[in-house]
Amino acid sequence: MKTISTIISAAVIVLCLNACKKNDNGSVGNEIVGKWHEDKLMLKQATSNSSEHDTTFASTAFTANDYVQFNADKTASFSQSGDFGFAGKRETINGTAVSGVSGYNYFITDISFGLTKLFAHPTNGFDPYDYKILQLDNKQLIIQTKYNVLSAPISTVGYNNSLITTAYYTREN
């Protein structure tokens, strides 16, 4: 009788512990949901002749229009207030404002992250980028992007496929 009582007690304890366990299903995906404001951007590219281009944009380069919004339905919107490049930030080209919002679908797991444009280019239909989340917590998101494909004109002037951007975001309160 004592053995049965011990077994029942052990089973109840195990059930109680399992009931109190934290539910981790989708927790990484839930952490990313929300609006994140960009406050730093680093660009880095090595050339075939061993020189490097390296540019960092500090928080003063960004406006309220520089953000990424991740939604619970696995869609995301990236918004930029200009074109950020090695020569600096361009807000207009020939008098036309350079800004906009791009739509994406995203996936996220404990070990991987990816984005797919909602409107893929009709001739090639692929996204030539590798994305990696370097940090994700309740306050900061850091996304590193490696650009795998560069156009022929750029490649012919000595660039290899090593353009990497690192974008730093802070969660909106």
Tens-level pLDDT at each residue, the chain (173 residues)? 544 444 444 444 434 444 444 444 446 678 999 999 999 999 988 766 666 788 999 999 999 999 999 999 999 999 988 888 888 887 766 666 666 788 888 989 887 888 887 765 555 555 567 888 999 999 999 999 887 655 444 444 444 557 889 999 999 97
- 153 phi, psi to nearest 5 deg: -60, -35
Among the CATH numbers 3.40.50.180, 2.90.10.10, 1.10.3210.10, 2.40.128.280, which is that of 25-171?
2.40.128.280
- Per the confidence metrics, is the pTM higher than 0.75? no
Cα 50 to its chain centre, rounded Å, is: 28
Residue 83, exposed/middle/buried by CB under 10 A (0-12, 13-18, 19+)? Answer: middle
